Amino acid sequence: MITIKTPIEYINQPDIHLIAGRYIKKYGKNALIIGSKTSLEVIGTAFFENLKEEEIQYEVETFLGYPTFVTMKAYAKKAEERKADVIIGIGGGKVCDTAKAAGTFAKLPVITIPTIAATCASWAAVSIVYNEKGQVEVPFSNDNSPVLLLADTKIIAQAPSKYMYAGIVDTLAKWYETIPNLTIAPKDTTLSISLYGAKLAFDSLLKQGKQAVLDGQQGLVTKEVFDTIDAILYLAGFVGSFQGDTFYGGFAHPFYNSSTLISKTMGRLHGEKVSIGLLAQYILEKRSDEEIRELIHVLDKFHLALTLEEIGIQNEEETRIIAKDILKRFSNGYKQLSIAQTENEIVKALWQADAIVKQTLKTKVLAGRY
Q: Give 3-state DSSP helix, strand, coil % of the chain, rounded to 5.
A: 55, 10, 30
- Whether residue 368 is predicted with pLDDT greater than 50 in this model: the reply is no
State the first-to-last Cα distance of the chain, in angstroms, to the nearest integer. 43
The whole-number pLDDT of residue 332 equals: 60
pTM for this prediction:
0.95
Measuring CA to CA, which residue among 133, 132, 79, 125 is closest to residue 106? Answer: 79
Over the stretch 132-169, which tens digit does the pLDDT of each residue have? 999 999 999 999 999 999 999 999 999 999 999 999 99
Tell me the mean pLDDT in the region 212-232. 98
Residue 348 phi/psi, 5-degree rounding, is: -60, -40
**Cβ atoms 31, 88 nearer than 8 A:** yes
Please give the C-alpha separations between residue 110 and each of 75, 100, 152, 155, 219, in angstroms, as whole numbers.
12, 6, 17, 20, 30
Over the stretch 242-264, which tens digit does the pLDDT of each residue have? 876 676 778 999 999 999 999 99
- Whether residue 12 is predicted with pLDDT greater than 90 in this model: the reply is yes
| Encoded amino acid at 46, one letter | A
**Cβ atoms 89, 31 nearer than 8 A:** no
Measuring CA to CA, which residue among 173, 233, 230 is closest to residue 202? Answer: 173
Q: Report d(CA 91, CA 236) in Å as an integer.
A: 18
The whole-number pLDDT of residue 184 equals: 81
Over the stretch 317-328, which tens digit does the pLDDT of each residue have? 999 999 999 999
Measuring CA to CA, which residue among 136, 175, 167 is closest to residue 282? Answer: 175
Please give the C-alpha separations between residue 139 and each of 6, 91, 176, 311, in angstroms, as whole numbers.
17, 19, 21, 23
Q: Report d(CA 213, CA 228) in Å as an integer.
A: 9
- Whether residue 367 is predicted with pLDDT greater than 60 in this model: the reply is no
Structural domains of the chain, ranges and CATH numbers in brackets: 3-157 (3.40.50.1970), 162-361 (1.20.1090.10)
Please give the C-alpha separations between residue 152 and each of 93, 149, 165, 183, 287, in angstroms, as whole numbers.
15, 10, 17, 39, 40
Given pLDDT bands bounded at 50, 70 and 90, which one contains residue 360?
Answer: very high
Tell me the mean pLDDT in the region 90-103. 98
C-beta atoms surrounding 90 within 10 Å: 27
**Cβ atoms 99, 74 nearer than 8 A:** no
Tell me the mean pLDDT in the region 186-207. 92
Over the stretch 77-86, which tens digit does the pLDDT of each residue have? 999 999 999 9
Those residues with Cβ within 8 angstroms of residue 49's Cβ, 6 or more apart along the chain or in another chain: none
Q: How far is CA 349 from the centre of its chain?
A: 24
**Cβ atoms 298, 172 nearer than 8 A:** yes
Over the stretch 264-298, which tens digit does the pLDDT of each residue have? 999 999 999 999 999 999 999 999 999 999 999 99
Given pLDDT bands bounded at 50, 70 and 90, which one contains residue 363?
Answer: low
Tell me the mean pLDDT in the region 22-38. 98
The whole-number pLDDT of residue 181 equals: 86
Lowest mean pLDDT among 171-180, 246-255, 304-313: 246-255
Lowest mean pLDDT among 39-48, 88-97, 248-257, 335-344: 335-344
The whole-number pLDDT of residue 245 equals: 66
Please give the C-alpha separations between residue 22 and each of 96, 159, 169, 258, in angstroms, as whole numbers.
21, 25, 34, 41
The whole-number pLDDT of residue 187 equals: 83
Bridge partners, 111 (sequence order): 88, 148
Mean per-residue pLDDT of the chain: 94
Tell me the mean pLDDT in the region 71-80. 98
Residue 114: CA count within 13 A, CB half-sphere: 36
Measuring CA to CA, which residue among 156, 87, 66, 161 is closest to residue 120? Answer: 156
Share of the chain above pLDDT 90, in %: 85
Tell me the mean pLDDT in the region 327-351. 83
- Whether residue 225 is predicted with pLDDT greater than 60 in this model: the reply is yes
Measuring CA to CA, which residue among 192, 41, 30 is closest to residue 111? Answer: 30
Share of the chain above pLDDT 70, in %: 95
